[in-house]
Amino acid sequence: MSISQCEKYVGLAMLGLLVGCHARRPDVPADAARLTGIDHAITFRQDAEAFVPAPSGDESLTIEQAIRLALTNDSRIQASLARVRLAEAEANQVRLLPNPILTIDIRFPLSKTGNTAFEPTLGADLLSLLQKPAQIAAADNRLRESAAAALTTVLDVMTEVQEAYASSRSVDAEIENAQRRRQRIQQLRDLAQKRLDAGEGIRLDVLTLDAQLMQAEFDGSDLNLLRIDHRLALARLLGEPRSLAAWKLSPWEPPTGVLLAAESQWIDAALFNRPEILARLWELRALGDDLNVASFLPLQGGELAAHAERDPDWRVGPSLTVPLPIFDFGQETREKVRALRSVARHELVQQRLEIIQAVRLAYATYVHSRRTLSNAQERLLPLQRKQLDQAQLAYQAGEANLATLLLAQNDLELTLSKILELQEKVTVARVRLQRTAGGAGVADRVDAAAATQPAGSVPLPAINPMPLVLPATQPATSQPVIGTPR
């Protein structure tokens, strides 16, 4: 047997293997678990209404529970998994051989001495047979591309629910802080009223504090409406848009770890793990297979058949129909595919540039927000607590007026509110850094590498999880009332 015959038989055998098996389905749930660090959270459902219920009433809801519920119930993830099934069906369809075409010609004689001619022809599309390996490869690559797109959706949903949870928790803390502020103003108002009743105060102090109480009620009303907004958004992400959304959320906890991996390590992890890059790579490979498919276009319309005729004896032989590529030999189609490949290459480069920028921005934001929060807690907050203590003592001793006390109290309350805002920013910055790296699971591996190889890592400032509570206003009887300066 010659080498050319061996190559022909090997090619036919490979074609038979390709068309005889099904496309390998990507394991999207396992890949999602590797990126997110959460196992067994994603299962494809045909029924769009089969939701996993979220905790209702005043039950507690941790961030881990919220993420798992969102990954399980989110319809965007289910739609992306359905598109993976669609790509899998297309890959299996490409593997099917074209149905043969049976043509039967019967010609009756016009004279009594003639014979009836019977000519059956069994043919198959020659072009589809030649294009089959490249078409199968292109469909398989687009199946992998759809799986990467599904992973992108999973990471986006996870990031969205983490940010929604952080926002809801921050608003809850703001409401608690506003309630404490109203209690402090009420204590000051009672103190001012007692001074007025004793003839040692002025009515302006009471009116000023009454206005402060009314403003505190307005601020609390706005915060309650903002709380409803964030809770409803979180309920939608969890798949329970009509729930009461009255969960008890976990209190804020500072991020662990005193070392942050170098920026270059985060960039390398992102370029290796981001599903957006993988999707473009698979699309680029699929376009390469499309170019191979286009190389057989000059044979479009060709047919390979077995022809038989009986007139009156049987004669059987092969039949081959091949078009002559005189005008159209597929040159423009190949140029179109080459142009699409060029577009895909440039978009891949642009995607990498944008990912590097996003990683560097998220990295800088996380480091800056942690440092700012640490400075606010360790340096600014103690100073303003002492300032408020001195202002209270001076006001109760009659050495300072109400404006001085309110100014010190407002400064401290602004700092407390800023700390709550910074806590949310630290959480969101950490979430976005994880997202830009390719998921929380990837970020955990980068952190583990930084812990074992501290060279090049960035030391992070410690964050104190101290409760943000002001000291209560001293009662009127704790200090002798000397009088308010006029």
Residue 8 has a pLDDT of 47
pLDDT at 53 exceeding the cut of 50: yes
Cα atoms in the Cβ-side hemisphere of radius 13 Å centred on 54: 34
- At residue 49 the predicted structure's pLDDT band, cuts being 50, 70 and 90, is low
Residue 156 has a pLDDT of 94
Mean pLDDT, range 124-145, rounded to an integer: 85
Residue 140 has a pLDDT of 93
Over residues 353-362, the pLDDT tens digits come to 999 999 999 9
Residue 486 has a pLDDT of 30
Which of 23-32, 118-127, 146-155 shows the lowest mean pLDDT across its residues?
A: 118-127
Which of 35-39, 51-55, 160-164, 292-296 shows the lowest mean pLDDT across its residues?
A: 51-55
pLDDT at 477 exceeding the cut of 50: no
Q: In terms of pLDDT, which residue wins out, 28 or 205?
A: 28
Give the separation between CA 282 and CA 331, rounded to whole angstroms: 24
Q: How high is the mean pLDDT of the chain?
A: 82
Residue 469 has a pLDDT of 55
Mean pLDDT, range 422-450, rounded to an integer: 91
Domains, the chain, in order of start with CATH, read 28-478 (1.20.1600.10)
Over residues 365-405, the pLDDT tens digits come to 999 999 999 898 888 888 888 888 888 888 777 777 777 88
Mean pLDDT, range 69-74, rounded to an integer: 90
Q: Quick check: bond before 29 cis, omega within 30?
A: no
- At residue 466 the predicted structure's pLDDT band, cuts being 50, 70 and 90, is low
